[in-house]
Amino acid sequence: MIIRLKQDTNMIRILFLLTIFISVLISLLELFTYSGFMKKHLFFNINIFLFFGFVLVILLSLKLNEIISLKLGKILFVSAISALTAMIVLTSLELIKYPNFIFSVTHIEIKNFSQLIAYLLSASFIVVVSKKLFKVFKNNVFFSTVFVFLLAVYIFKNCTFVSASINRLLPPALAKPTATYSDKMYYLWSDPYRYLETVKQLTSNNEVVFLPTGTSAQAITGNIGLIRYFLYPRSLSLYDPERSKNGFLVVSPGNELGDGDYTLWPNHWVDSDYYYLINTKDRKVKRIDKDFDPIDLSGHFWALVKI
């Protein structure tokens, strides 16, 4: 026997609110613990639960009238803004005190706010537009559900990215509101940023720059898509000992992600015209007119080799 839920019945409202409540509760659970808590202890990824939660919210929201949907959407949106405000306040408080202050006192992991904010914003969108799209698709539940779900997932991913970016960019903005662009970029990217700025000064726009290949310690300088932002319009290519000629070779000491992995690249002799020894701490540059030999490098120095 198929039980049909009548529009705007108490059962629909209860199921709808229960779905939202459980989803938010699980997001809060990871907020007050750590990323991956659900997967480690309950053996399922939180994103899988949110996936099915989205589908259920869409189906239930189709059964609500537009007035109730609009009210619930506003509540969810206000909740998202409140969560964003809380993230900003806690981030500011941590800057005043010391790093990891909030987690040590309240056990709240600030970076996990991004998932909660993204879910609330996406859910508010679903509630508001699903009913209208249901009419657009001429009351076809299947097409309405699929379309709204795909749109909601797209919004969820973008909201997650935006809120995570806010969480990452907020500390330097609050700590030094009058800081220059260069100082803020150094805060975000550390030594690789200063190195790349020096590379721009030492090379012309039509030069070719060869980047590290296949190393985790050079996760930043080995990423062509990322480095293109810093070195455009210079041509970029991954280094090939047999083919890479007539350009500048990046030499990185490693630890680009701050993980302590100081693995020099390249760690072998390179036939070159000359190379620049670059100290990113004091920004001093020294030209050395000889072949590049990693043995000559002392300490965690960067270099730029003319090949």
**In this predicted structure, what is the pLDDT of residue 110?**
81
Q: Name residues whose C-beta falls within 8 Å of residue 55's C-beta, 6 or more positions apart in sequence.
A: 145, 149
Angstrom distances, CA of residue 220 to CA of 46, 89, 192, 225, 290: 29, 31, 7, 10, 27
Residue type, 206: N
Show pLDDT as tens, one digit a residue, over the chain (307 residues).
344 444 445 666 677 777 777 777 877 777 777 777 777 776 667 777 777 777 777 767 766 777 777 788 888 889 888 988 888 888 888 877 777 788 888 878 887 888 788 888 888 887 777 767 666 766 666 776 677 777 777 777 777 777 777 777 777 777 677 778 888 888 878 889 999 999 999 999 999 999 998 777 888 998 898 999 999 999 999 998 888 889 999 999 888 877 777 888 888 899 999 999 998 888 889 999 999 988 877 666 899 999 9
**Distance of alpha carbon 265 from alpha carbon 256, whole angstroms:** 12
**In this predicted structure, what is the pLDDT of residue 211?**
94
Q: Name residues whose C-beta falls within 8 Å of residue 199's C-beta, 6 or more positions apart in sequence.
A: 209, 231, 248, 250, 304
Q: Using alpha carbons, select from 206, 202, 228 the residue that is nearest to residue 284.
A: 202
* Domain segments of the chain as ranges: 10-175, 187-306
Phi, psi of 47 (to 5 degrees): -65, -30
**In this predicted structure, what is the pLDDT of residue 8?**
47
**Distance of alpha carbon 49 from alpha carbon 26, whole angstroms:** 9
